[in-house]
Structure 1
Amino acid sequence: MAFLGGMVGAIPAFAACEGVAPEQKLQNTSPQDIGRDLDRIATDGYIEFAVYDDYAPWSFENAGKAEGIDIEIGKIIAGALGVEPRFRLVSAGETLDADLRNYVYKGAVVNGRVSDVMLHVPYDVDYACRFDQVVFTGIYGEEHIAIAYDAASYPDKGPTPAVFRYDPIGVENDSISDFYMTDVTRGPSADKVHRYRNTALAMKALADHEVMAVMGPRAELEAALAPGIDIHEPPLGLPRSKWAIGVALSMQHRRLGYAVDDAIAAALEDGRIAKAFADYGVGFTPPTR
């Protein structure tokens, strides 16, 4: 969400990476060996993925085990490499920049270490140009901003943002949906925006009729769908209302990146990734790669 917030107001004006010299160290760190290469992963017999915690349906802990769509993606990659998948559930930082620094190319300041691959990384070519330490690859899906709503309250058609000047809507606190709806309802109707710790709790409030709709990423809405609730994607006027998701890894390990991308491409082709989405009740939109 911090990545998307940074995109608001951005107007593409140049070709990809125009004006950025190759290997320009915009986020430079001192030279050092980071993470493990493909040969070391094969020798050790496992690959570690950094995944976000408390992020259903993508990645979350259930009875001590990591579950979710991203977990299934990691298993697919590990299977293609012939190694065991291991998952490191990490907390999201203030920005995507911080997450890449902490989990991909440098490590946190205190007892920090990187993982071999980070899953569920939003992909944007202009953003990627800022990092010569990171390979952005393996696009495996798309995420869309949508609105879930009580079908009985809006029997004719799904609600547009303007109605939430009068009708209560739930959002995840400090998300792009929160920022957007706060702007739409600013002034006397600002109290119509109800904020929750995550989208799943907002969806529970919708099922309990505390709010009439919830705005958020479509996958999170679909995963928490209850009877009588529909979802649609009205025009929002956002610079970015949908985005691709893929993986990130250290630039030092490009061969690993190629192997990961090949594994994802094969799973997209034979339907295993679409099945991973379906298993968690989420619709699958084949990404543009």
Structure 2
Amino acid sequence: MAGRGWQIAALTTAGWLAALPAFAACEDVPPEQRLQNTAPRDIGRSLDRIREEGWIEIAVYEDFRPWSWEEAGKPRGIDVELGRLIAEDLGVTPRFRFVQAGETLDQDLLNYVYKGATVGGHVSNLFLHVPYDVDYACRFDQVTFTGLYGEEHLAIAYRSDDYPEKGPVPAYFRYDTVGVENDSISDFYLTGFARGQTADKINRYTTTGAAMAGLAAGEVMAVMGPRAELEAALAPGLTLHEPPLPGLARSKWTLGLALSFQHRPLGYAVDDAIAAGLADGRIAAIFADYGVSFTPPLR
């Protein structure tokens, strides 16, 4: 089962496990070649039309605590509240579209941002929780990446009674059991750590939340994953930390949103709304309301 943990691995897999040379943004990346005489694409709605019709559709991932999920039929989560903040600034009503995570981020951008799924699909006006990487963004001239609103960090949650003096580091998992979301960056990292010496101690779960439930039940001694997802599932007797992760070139990433490049005025307006929410503390308060640490993005 694909999970949101693939998002980061999808930007580059092995490239995140070893440092790469630095190049200027978009250097040597040719623009995409658009095919002629292809079927028309759904390009969504302009800012003027959104304001005229009084609503905006915002795509968020389903079953993705603490970011976005439905509870008793009502949308909840950090990304949902961010969507409401944006809609309020635009003077319109938000409509949330809960979508499934695909196998790759490329696929999700195609399905929800600039083309629409082949069967019965349509693009949404905004797509939240998109990890931002300048080199990855260079590949997509049909997508505008904007509205950077926070950072996500990899962390390790653990049982306090198993590690009373200090939290575990990856080398411990040569001997101690650890849970991860299947096919996530944590899974890839620990599987290859120390030439595979930790591989047989890894327990794989469908989601990070399920791994945290396994930790609470004593199935594993620790869980590695995105900090926000770990914090959202902390139970009594569990804690977490952010230790050094040797061999991993990047253990944190910036979160933003994506929309069709054809609607840049909407992108500018949305980015202004996010900037205002960061400046006056509303976005930090949203994270606090869900018990999640907030790190302002570098914008």
TM-score (norm 2): 0.91
Deviation at 1:191, TM superposition (A): 3.2
Deviation at 1:18, TM superposition (A): 1.2
Cα distance in 1 between the residues matched to 2:210 and 2:194: 21
Q: 1:240 aligned to 2:240?
A: no
Q: SS in structure 2 opposite 1:191?
A: helix
**Aligned residue pairs, count:** 287
Gap regions ≥5 residues in structure 1:
none
Contact kept in structure 1, 2:42 and 2:123, CA below 8 Å:
no
- Residue aligning to 1:2: 6
Contact kept in structure 1, 2:42 and 2:122, CA below 8 Å:
no
Deviation at 1:89, TM superposition (A): 0.3
Q: SS in structure 1 opposite 2:229?
A: helix
Residue 266 (structure 1) aligned to one of 276, 281, 284: 276
Deviation at 1:265, TM superposition (A): 0.4
Deviation at 1:20, TM superposition (A): 3.0
- Residue aligning to 2:235: 226
Deviation at 1:133, TM superposition (A): 0.4
Deviation at 1:33, TM superposition (A): 5.7
- Residue aligning to 1:135: 144
- Residue aligning to 1:251: 261
Instruction: Give % identity.
Output: 67
Q: SS in structure 1 opposite 2:14?
A: coil
Cα distance in 1 between the residues matched to 2:228 and 2:134: 23
Cα distance in 1 between the residues matched to 2:7 and 2:182: 15
| The 10-residue stretch of structure 1 (233-242 or 247-256) with the greater mean CA deviation from structure 2 | 233-242
Contact kept in structure 2, 1:49 and 1:119, CA below 8 Å:
yes
- Residue aligning to 1:215: 224
Cα distance in 2 between the residues matched to 1:138 and 1:93: 22
Gap regions ≥5 residues in structure 2:
none
Q: Deviations over 1:119-155 (max 9, x none)?
A: 0000011100001100000000000110001111111
Q: SS in structure 1 opposite 2:294?
A: coil
Contact kept in structure 1, 2:190 and 2:198, CA below 8 Å:
no
Q: SS in structure 2 opposite 1:49?
A: strand
| The 10-residue stretch of structure 1 (259-268 or 150-159) with the greater mean CA deviation from structure 2 | 150-159
Please tell me the root mean square deviation across aligned C-alpha atoms, in Å: 1.7
